[in-house]
Structure 1
Amino acid sequence: MRELVGALRNYAWGSRTALARLRGNAVPSAHPEAELWFGAHPADPARVRGAGGECSLLDLVAEDPDRELGAAAPEFGGKLPFLLKVLAAEEPLSLQAHPSAAQALDGYAREDRARVPVDSPLRNYRDENHKPELVVALDRFEALAGFRDPLRTVELLRALAVPGLASYADLLAAAPDSSGLRTLFTTWITLPQQALAQLLPAVLDGCVRYLSGKGKRAFAAEARTALELAEAYPGDAGVLAALLLNRITLEPGQGLYLAAGNLHAYLRGVGVEIMANSDNVLRGGLTPKHVDVPELLRVLDFEPIDVPFVLPEPAGDGSVRYRTPAPEFELRRFDLTAGSGQVPLTSAGPGIVLCTAGRVRLLQDDAELTVERGGAAWISAADSDIRAQARDGGAQLFSASVGGNAS
Structure 2
Amino acid sequence: MDLLHNTVQPYDWGSRTLLPELMGIPPTGAPQAELWMGAHPAAPSRLSRGEALAPLDRIVAEDPEGELGAVTLRRFGPRLPFLVKLLAADAPLSVQVHPDLAQAQAGFARENALGVPLGAVHRNYRDDQHKPEMIVALTPFRGLCGFRDPEDCAALLDSLRVPALRPYAETLRTVPEPQALSRVFRAFLRPPEELLGAVARALAVAATGSAGAHIAAYDRIAQAYPGDPGLLSSLMLRYVELSPGEALFLGAGVPHAYLSGLGVEIMASSDNVLRCGLTSKHVDAEELIRIVRFDAPPTRVLSPREEGEGEEVYPAPVDDFRLSRYLLRAGDPWRCVTLDAPQIVLCTAGAMSLSSSKENVDIGPGQAVYVPAGAEAGLEGAGMAFRATTGTAERLG
TM-score by length of 2: 0.95
357-366 or 181-190: bigger deviation: 357-366
Code of the residue aligned with 1:67 in structure 2: it is G
Code of the residue aligned with 1:280 in structure 2: it is N
Cα distance in 2, alignment partners of residues 48 and 30 from structure 1: 27
- Return the offset for 1:346: 4.9
1:92 and 2:83 aligned: no
Match of 1:230 in 2: 222
Deviations 1:128-176 (A, max 9, x none): 0000000100101110010011111111112222211111100111124
Change (3 A) 1:406 1:141: farther
Gaps of 5+ in 1: none
Gaps of 5+ in 2: none
1:210 and 2:206 aligned: yes
Secondary structure of 2:4's counterpart equals strand
Change (3 A) 1:406 1:322: farther
1:251 to 238, 243, 252: 243
Match of 2:13 in 1: 13
Match of 1:3 in 2: 3
Cα distance in 1, alignment partners of residues 340 and 36 from structure 2: 18
Code of the residue aligned with 2:13 in structure 1: it is W
Cα distance in 1, alignment partners of residues 394 and 303 from structure 2: 16
Code of the residue aligned with 1:389 in structure 2: it is E
Cα distance in 1, alignment partners of residues 49 and 281 from structure 2: 38
Match of 2:42 in 1: 43
Match of 2:367 in 1: 375
Code of the residue aligned with 1:225 in structure 2: it is A
1:343 and 2:335 aligned: yes
49-58 or 7-16: bigger deviation: 49-58
1:307 and 2:295 aligned: no
- Return the offset for 1:207: 2.6
Match of 1:67 in 2: 66
Q: Given that residues 3 and 50 in structure 1 are in contact (C-alpha distance below 8 angstroms), is that contact kept between their aligned partners in structure 2?
A: no
- Aligned sequence identity (%): 42
Secondary structure of 2:308's counterpart equals coil
303-312 or 224-233: bigger deviation: 303-312
Code of the residue aligned with 2:380 in structure 1: it is Q
1:387 and 2:378 aligned: yes
Change (3 A) 1:180 1:406: farther
- Return the offset for 1:54: 2.2
Match of 1:397 in 2: 385
Q: Which runs of structure 2 are paired with 1:181-196 in the superposition (5 Å)?
A: 181-191=181-191, 195=192
Query: When the two structures are aligned, how many residues end up with a matched partner?
Result: 394
Code of the residue aligned with 1:174 in structure 2: it is T
1:32 and 2:31 aligned: yes
Deviations 1:266-292 (A, max 9, x none): 101110000001000001000111100
Change (3 A) 1:304 1:110: closer
Cα distance in 2, alignment partners of residues 258 and 317 from structure 1: 28
Cα distance in 2, alignment partners of residues 11 and 39 from structure 1: 18
302-311 or 280-289: bigger deviation: 302-311
Q: Given that residues 6 and 36 in structure 2 are in contact (C-alpha distance below 8 angstroms), is that contact kept between their aligned partners in structure 1?
A: yes
Change (3 A) 1:128 1:117: same
Cα distance in 2, alignment partners of residues 372 and 230 from structure 1: 38
71-80 or 119-128: bigger deviation: 71-80
237-246 or 307-316: bigger deviation: 307-316
1:199 to 195, 199, 205: 195
Match of 1:295 in 2: 287
1:111 and 2:111 aligned: yes
Deviations 1:60-87 (A, max 9, x none): 1000000000020121111110001111
